[in-house]
Structure 1
Amino acid sequence: MQCDVCGREITGKPHRVIIEGAKMVTCEECSKLGSEYWEPKPVMRPLETSTRKLTKLSSSVKVVSTPVKRASSSTIDVSGKLEVVEGFGLIVKRARERMGLTPEDLGKKIGEKESVIKKVESERIVPDIRLASKLEHALKIKILRESTMLEDEKFSLGAKFNREITLGEIVQLKDSKRGKRGNEGDNSLS
Protein backbone atom coordinates (compact mmCIF):
# COMPACT_ATOMS: atom_id res chain seq x y z
CA MET A 1 0.00 0.00 0.00
CA GLN A 2 1.28 3.49 -0.90
CA CYS A 3 0.94 6.77 0.99
CA ASP A 4 -1.61 9.08 -0.66
CA VAL A 5 0.56 12.12 0.14
CA CYS A 6 4.19 11.23 -0.54
CA GLY A 7 3.72 8.06 -2.59
CA ARG A 8 6.16 5.95 -0.58
CA GLU A 9 5.36 2.36 0.37
CA ILE A 10 3.68 2.27 3.79
CA THR A 11 5.54 0.07 6.27
CA GLY A 12 3.59 -0.87 9.34
CA LYS A 13 0.05 0.25 10.05
CA PRO A 14 -1.42 2.80 7.61
CA HIS A 15 -2.85 5.97 9.15
CA ARG A 16 -6.26 7.25 8.03
CA VAL A 17 -6.34 11.04 8.37
CA ILE A 18 -8.27 13.98 6.96
CA ILE A 19 -6.08 16.54 5.17
CA GLU A 20 -7.89 19.70 4.00
CA GLY A 21 -11.21 17.85 3.93
CA ALA A 22 -9.95 14.84 1.96
CA LYS A 23 -9.81 11.39 3.55
CA MET A 24 -6.37 9.90 2.92
CA VAL A 25 -4.38 6.82 3.81
CA THR A 26 -0.88 7.96 4.79
CA CYS A 27 2.37 6.77 6.25
CA GLU A 28 3.23 7.66 9.84
CA GLU A 29 5.33 10.66 8.82
CA CYS A 30 2.64 12.22 6.58
CA SER A 31 -0.13 11.52 9.10
CA LYS A 32 1.15 14.52 11.10
CA LEU A 33 -0.06 16.79 8.24
CA GLY A 34 -3.69 15.88 8.84
CA SER A 35 -6.16 15.73 11.64
CA GLU A 36 -9.02 13.51 12.79
CA TYR A 37 -8.73 9.82 12.17
CA TRP A 38 -11.51 8.14 10.21
CA GLU A 39 -12.56 4.53 9.98
CA PRO A 40 -13.50 2.95 6.67
CA LYS A 41 -17.13 1.90 6.41
CA PRO A 42 -17.53 -1.88 6.47
CA VAL A 43 -18.63 -3.32 3.15
CA MET A 44 -21.87 -5.26 3.47
CA ARG A 45 -22.07 -8.28 1.23
CA PRO A 46 -25.45 -9.88 0.64
CA LEU A 47 -25.76 -13.44 1.94
CA GLU A 48 -27.67 -16.23 0.26
CA THR A 49 -30.20 -16.42 3.08
CA SER A 50 -31.00 -12.73 2.85
CA THR A 51 -31.55 -13.01 -0.91
CA ARG A 52 -34.03 -15.80 -0.43
CA LYS A 53 -35.91 -13.72 2.10
CA LEU A 54 -36.02 -10.82 -0.35
CA THR A 55 -37.47 -12.98 -3.11
CA LYS A 56 -40.17 -14.28 -0.78
CA LEU A 57 -40.99 -10.73 0.30
CA SER A 58 -40.95 -9.34 -3.21
CA SER A 59 -43.59 -11.83 -4.37
CA SER A 60 -46.00 -10.62 -1.68
CA VAL A 61 -45.29 -6.92 -2.16
CA LYS A 62 -47.57 -5.07 -4.55
CA VAL A 63 -45.94 -2.23 -6.46
CA VAL A 64 -48.25 0.62 -7.37
CA SER A 65 -47.00 3.12 -9.91
CA THR A 66 -48.43 6.58 -10.13
CA PRO A 67 -48.16 8.59 -13.32
CA VAL A 68 -45.60 11.37 -13.18
CA LYS A 69 -47.06 14.82 -13.72
CA ARG A 70 -45.20 16.56 -16.52
CA ALA A 71 -44.59 20.28 -16.57
CA SER A 72 -47.20 21.90 -18.76
CA SER A 73 -45.99 23.73 -21.81
CA SER A 74 -48.13 26.73 -20.88
CA THR A 75 -45.79 27.73 -18.02
CA ILE A 76 -42.64 27.97 -20.13
CA ASP A 77 -42.80 29.31 -23.65
CA VAL A 78 -40.16 27.42 -25.59
CA SER A 79 -40.41 29.60 -28.68
CA GLY A 80 -38.51 32.41 -26.95
CA LYS A 81 -41.36 34.90 -27.14
CA LEU A 82 -41.29 35.66 -23.39
CA GLU A 83 -39.24 38.34 -21.69
CA VAL A 84 -38.80 39.68 -18.17
CA VAL A 85 -40.60 42.95 -17.40
CA GLU A 86 -38.71 46.09 -16.43
CA GLY A 87 -38.38 46.65 -12.68
CA PHE A 88 -38.53 42.91 -11.99
CA GLY A 89 -36.10 43.22 -9.07
CA LEU A 90 -38.36 45.49 -7.04
CA ILE A 91 -41.38 43.30 -7.83
CA VAL A 92 -39.56 40.18 -6.61
CA LYS A 93 -38.23 41.90 -3.48
CA ARG A 94 -41.63 43.33 -2.47
CA ALA A 95 -43.38 39.99 -3.04
CA ARG A 96 -40.75 38.13 -1.02
CA GLU A 97 -41.00 40.61 1.86
CA ARG A 98 -44.82 40.49 1.70
CA MET A 99 -44.64 36.72 2.20
CA GLY A 100 -42.20 37.17 5.09
CA LEU A 101 -39.36 35.24 3.43
CA THR A 102 -35.65 35.96 3.57
CA PRO A 103 -33.60 35.65 0.36
CA GLU A 104 -32.20 32.41 1.80
CA ASP A 105 -35.70 31.00 2.46
CA LEU A 106 -36.87 31.91 -1.04
CA GLY A 107 -33.73 30.36 -2.53
CA LYS A 108 -34.35 27.09 -0.70
CA LYS A 109 -38.00 27.12 -1.75
CA ILE A 110 -37.21 27.39 -5.47
CA GLY A 111 -33.87 25.55 -5.47
CA GLU A 112 -31.57 28.52 -6.09
CA LYS A 113 -28.72 30.08 -4.13
CA GLU A 114 -29.34 33.06 -1.87
CA SER A 115 -26.81 35.07 -3.89
CA VAL A 116 -28.83 34.52 -7.08
CA ILE A 117 -31.98 35.82 -5.37
CA LYS A 118 -30.10 38.91 -4.12
CA LYS A 119 -28.66 39.57 -7.60
CA VAL A 120 -32.11 39.27 -9.19
CA GLU A 121 -33.57 41.67 -6.61
CA SER A 122 -30.80 44.22 -7.24
CA GLU A 123 -31.17 43.60 -11.01
CA ARG A 124 -27.47 42.75 -11.39
CA ILE A 125 -28.64 39.69 -13.32
CA VAL A 126 -31.72 39.17 -15.47
CA PRO A 127 -33.36 35.84 -14.66
CA ASP A 128 -33.79 33.40 -17.50
CA ILE A 129 -37.27 32.14 -18.36
CA ARG A 130 -36.93 29.08 -16.10
CA LEU A 131 -35.87 31.09 -13.03
CA ALA A 132 -38.45 33.78 -13.71
CA SER A 133 -41.24 31.21 -13.92
CA LYS A 134 -40.06 29.63 -10.64
CA LEU A 135 -40.12 33.06 -8.98
CA GLU A 136 -43.58 33.76 -10.40
CA HIS A 137 -44.92 30.48 -9.07
CA ALA A 138 -43.35 30.77 -5.59
CA LEU A 139 -44.18 34.45 -5.03
CA LYS A 140 -47.50 34.49 -6.94
CA ILE A 141 -46.37 37.41 -9.10
CA LYS A 142 -46.13 38.13 -12.82
CA ILE A 143 -42.69 39.14 -14.14
CA LEU A 144 -42.82 37.47 -17.57
CA ARG A 145 -44.61 38.99 -20.53
CA GLU A 146 -44.84 38.27 -24.21
CA SER A 147 -42.17 39.94 -26.25
CA THR A 148 -43.35 42.78 -28.45
CA MET A 149 -42.35 42.76 -32.11
CA LEU A 150 -40.96 46.31 -32.00
CA GLU A 151 -38.39 45.39 -29.36
CA ASP A 152 -37.37 42.30 -31.33
CA GLU A 153 -36.81 44.41 -34.43
CA LYS A 154 -34.73 46.93 -32.49
CA PHE A 155 -32.13 44.26 -31.64
CA SER A 156 -32.25 42.34 -34.89
CA LEU A 157 -30.42 43.30 -38.06
CA GLY A 158 -32.27 40.61 -39.95
CA ALA A 159 -35.76 41.85 -38.99
CA LYS A 160 -36.88 41.55 -42.60
CA PHE A 161 -36.13 37.84 -42.45
CA ASN A 162 -37.62 37.44 -38.94
CA ARG A 163 -34.39 36.22 -37.35
CA GLU A 164 -31.83 37.39 -34.78
CA ILE A 165 -28.37 38.77 -35.55
CA THR A 166 -25.59 36.19 -35.67
CA LEU A 167 -21.99 36.44 -34.46
CA GLY A 168 -20.80 36.13 -38.04
CA GLU A 169 -22.77 39.21 -39.02
CA ILE A 170 -21.21 41.18 -36.14
CA VAL A 171 -17.73 40.16 -37.29
CA GLN A 172 -18.52 41.13 -40.89
CA LEU A 173 -19.91 44.47 -39.71
CA LYS A 174 -16.77 45.21 -37.67
CA ASP A 175 -14.51 44.09 -40.52
CA SER A 176 -16.32 46.36 -42.97
CA LYS A 177 -15.98 49.33 -40.58
CA ARG A 178 -12.26 48.64 -40.19
CA GLY A 179 -11.88 48.48 -43.96
CA LYS A 180 -13.57 51.84 -44.42
CA ARG A 181 -11.38 53.50 -41.80
CA GLY A 182 -8.25 52.02 -43.31
CA ASN A 183 -9.11 53.23 -46.82
CA GLU A 184 -9.91 56.79 -45.74
CA GLY A 185 -6.47 57.91 -44.57
CA ASP A 186 -3.81 55.35 -45.36
CA ASN A 187 -3.95 52.89 -48.28
CA SER A 188 -1.04 50.81 -46.97
CA LEU A 189 -3.35 48.51 -44.96
CA SER A 190 -5.29 47.31 -48.03
Structure 2
Amino acid sequence: MFDDMDELATDYDERVRKAREQKGLSQSDLANELNEKASLIRKIERGDTLPSDQVQSKLERFLEIELSAQSGSGDDSEWSGGSSSGSYTLGDVVKRKD
Protein backbone atom coordinates (compact mmCIF):
# COMPACT_ATOMS: atom_id res chain seq x y z
CA MET A 1 0.00 0.00 0.00
CA PHE A 2 2.77 2.46 0.88
CA ASP A 3 5.33 1.17 -1.64
CA ASP A 4 4.48 3.83 -4.25
CA MET A 5 4.76 6.75 -1.86
CA ASP A 6 7.90 8.85 -1.73
CA GLU A 7 9.19 9.76 1.69
CA LEU A 8 8.34 13.35 2.54
CA ALA A 9 11.28 15.69 3.14
CA THR A 10 11.81 16.64 6.77
CA ASP A 11 11.61 20.33 5.85
CA TYR A 12 8.43 20.02 3.75
CA ASP A 13 6.73 22.67 5.90
CA GLU A 14 9.46 25.22 5.28
CA ARG A 15 9.55 24.46 1.54
CA VAL A 16 5.80 25.10 1.24
CA ARG A 17 5.94 28.33 3.25
CA LYS A 18 8.92 29.74 1.34
CA ALA A 19 7.44 28.89 -2.06
CA ARG A 20 4.08 30.41 -1.10
CA GLU A 21 5.75 33.60 0.11
CA GLN A 22 7.86 33.83 -3.06
CA LYS A 23 4.64 33.80 -5.08
CA GLY A 24 3.28 36.58 -2.86
CA LEU A 25 0.33 34.51 -1.66
CA SER A 26 -1.32 34.34 1.73
CA GLN A 27 -2.23 30.97 3.19
CA SER A 28 -5.87 31.68 2.28
CA ASP A 29 -4.90 32.55 -1.30
CA LEU A 30 -2.97 29.31 -1.67
CA ALA A 31 -5.83 27.32 -0.18
CA ASN A 32 -8.25 28.89 -2.68
CA GLU A 33 -5.94 28.09 -5.59
CA LEU A 34 -5.70 24.46 -4.48
CA ASN A 35 -9.38 24.18 -3.53
CA GLU A 36 -8.38 23.24 0.02
CA LYS A 37 -9.06 24.74 3.44
CA ALA A 38 -6.79 27.49 4.75
CA SER A 39 -6.56 25.62 8.06
CA LEU A 40 -4.96 22.68 6.23
CA ILE A 41 -2.32 24.97 4.70
CA ARG A 42 -1.61 26.46 8.15
CA LYS A 43 -1.19 22.99 9.66
CA ILE A 44 1.11 21.87 6.84
CA GLU A 45 3.29 24.98 7.15
CA ARG A 46 3.57 24.51 10.92
CA GLY A 47 4.51 20.87 10.42
CA ASP A 48 1.47 19.78 12.43
CA THR A 49 0.15 17.53 9.67
CA LEU A 50 1.50 15.72 6.64
CA PRO A 51 -0.15 16.48 3.31
CA SER A 52 -2.02 13.63 1.68
CA ASP A 53 -0.60 12.37 -1.61
CA GLN A 54 -3.25 14.37 -3.47
CA VAL A 55 -2.51 17.61 -1.59
CA GLN A 56 1.22 17.02 -1.94
CA SER A 57 0.80 16.75 -5.72
CA LYS A 58 -1.25 19.95 -5.83
CA LEU A 59 1.34 21.82 -3.76
CA GLU A 60 4.23 20.57 -5.88
CA ARG A 61 2.52 21.46 -9.15
CA PHE A 62 1.21 24.88 -8.14
CA LEU A 63 4.25 26.03 -6.15
CA GLU A 64 6.73 24.36 -8.53
CA ILE A 65 8.57 22.58 -5.70
CA GLU A 66 9.50 19.04 -4.70
CA LEU A 67 8.44 17.76 -1.31
CA SER A 68 9.91 14.27 -1.47
CA ALA A 69 13.02 13.49 0.56
CA GLN A 70 15.01 12.47 -2.53
CA SER A 71 14.86 16.03 -3.85
CA GLY A 72 16.38 17.42 -0.67
CA SER A 73 19.65 19.20 -0.16
CA GLY A 74 21.63 15.97 -0.26
CA ASP A 75 22.57 16.04 3.41
CA ASP A 76 21.53 12.41 3.83
CA SER A 77 23.73 11.15 1.01
CA GLU A 78 26.92 11.97 2.90
CA TRP A 79 25.68 10.73 6.25
CA SER A 80 27.66 7.91 7.79
CA GLY A 81 26.11 7.16 11.15
CA GLY A 82 25.56 3.88 12.89
CA SER A 83 27.67 1.55 14.89
CA SER A 84 30.56 -0.56 13.67
CA SER A 85 28.25 -3.59 13.71
CA GLY A 86 26.18 -2.02 10.93
CA SER A 87 23.03 -1.69 12.98
CA TYR A 88 21.40 1.66 13.65
CA THR A 89 19.65 3.08 16.67
CA LEU A 90 16.83 5.60 16.60
CA GLY A 91 19.33 8.28 17.56
CA ASP A 92 21.34 7.53 14.39
CA VAL A 93 18.48 8.28 12.03
CA VAL A 94 16.30 10.92 13.71
CA LYS A 95 16.82 14.55 12.79
CA ARG A 96 15.75 17.07 15.41
CA LYS A 97 13.62 19.91 14.18
CA ASP A 98 14.47 22.87 16.38
Q: Is the 8 A contact 2:27 2:41 kept in 1?
A: yes
- RMSD of aligned alpha carbons: 1.8
1:106 match = 30
The answer to whether structure 1 residue 118 and structure 2 residue 42 are counterparts is: yes
Q: Given residue 131 of structure 1, which amino acid in structure 2 is its aligned partner?
A: V
**Pairing partner for 1:128 from 20, 42, 52:** 52
Contact 1:89–1:122 under 8 Å retained in 2: yes
- Report which of the two structures shows the higher radius of gyration computed on alpha carbons: 1
Query: In the alignment, which of 1, 15, 20 is matched to residue 96 of structure 1?
Result: 20
Q: Which segments of 5 or more consecutive residues in structure 2 lack a partner in the other structure?
A: 71-87, 89-98
Seq. identity, %: 31
Task: Tell me which amino acid in the other structure corresponds to 1:120.
Answer: I
The answer as to 2:9 corresponding to 1:85 is yes
TM-score normalized by the length of structure 1 = 0.34
State the alpha-carbon separation in 2 of the partners of residues 80 and 128 from structure 1.
13
Q: Matches of residues 35-114 of structure 1 in structure 2 within 5 Å?
A: 79-114=3-38
CA distance in 1, matches of 2:5, 2:65: 19
Written as runs of structure 1 = structure 2, the 5 A alignment for 1:123-162 is 123-145=47-69
Bigger RCO (CA 8 Å, 6+ sep) = 2
Q: Distance in 2 between matches of 1:145 and 1:79?
A: 15
Q: Are the equivalent residues in 2 in contact too, given 1:133–1:144 (CA < 8 A)? A: no
Q: Which has the higher helix share?
A: 2
Question: d(CA) in 2 for partners of 1:109 and 1:127?
Answer: 16
> Aligned equivalents of 2:48 and 2:20: distance in 1?
17
* Code of the aligned partner of 1:91: R
Aligned length: 70
- C-alpha deviation, 1:80, in angstroms: 2.5
